Amino acid sequence: MASARYVTLQVVLLVAVALAAAPWLVLSDPTPLQDFCVADLKAATALDGFPCKPAATVVDDDFFSAAIISAGNTSNPFGVNSTRATVAAFPGLNTLGLSITRTDLAPGGLNPPHSHPRASELVLVLKGEVMVGFTSGLNRLYSKVVKENELFVVPRGLQHFQLNVGTGDAVFMAMFDAQSPGVVTPTFSLFATKPAVPMEVLAKTFLMGEDEVDVIKSRFAGF
């Protein structure tokens, strides 16, 4: 009987130790294989990402970027301009799993609905008031007017938008957990593709006539 109790106590202790260790096992990142892997943008992409520059050729400026200092030109139909500091513009981000984008919005400007297939997005408003919203798979809209120094997070892959609802210009930073988050904008993907999406597909999808589809496509001809 005492032996059985001893075995039970051992099992309980082992489970307790395993549970105590589990958070560390689950939450910690894998140990990096090297200190850094600055992207060699001139090399052909092997699989995902870019190969590393030889360490001997890495310089201080590989870890620095001024890509998002200046405001973007918002004189377009949407009143928006996004300036990206992804790995393609900032080689030091390679393999680090992060990037950032500056978005400028004119009064009433809209960053049209889009998604990032490879990253979640954390929005930090620096100037103005921006309505940020995303839709879930249950056709539910989650949105909030975000003001200066406030945050809003958009889960990975979901359609979302940013609309300037203030009286002046607005600026926000979008931070991503990917060096190249990608972007898919449905309006462009449907109405500005080459070759074009079949007319029957567009007409049936949006429950409209072909002449109405032609009008919409003409408005995206310059994009």
Q: Is 210 annotated as a binding residue?
A: no
Q: Is 139 annotated as a binding residue?
A: no
The token duo for 59 is 């310089």
- Label residue 213 exposed, middle or buried (CB < 10 Å: 0-12, 13-18, 19+): buried
Q: Is 129 annotated as a binding residue?
A: no
Q: Is 148 annotated as a binding residue?
A: no
Q: Is the peptide bond before 198 cis (omega within 30 degrees of 0)?
A: no
Core vs surface per residue 67-78: b (16+ CB within 10 A) or e: ebeeebebeeee
**Number of residues written out for the chain:** 223
Instruction: Dihedral sign for Cα 156, 161, 166, 168, please.
Output: positive
Question: What single letter denotes the amino acid at residue 204?
Answer: K
Judge contact between 153 and 121, C-beta under 8 A: yes
Annotated binding site: 111, 114, 116, 121, 160
Annotated binding site for oxalate: 111, 116, 121
Annotated binding site for Mn(2+): 114, 116, 121, 160
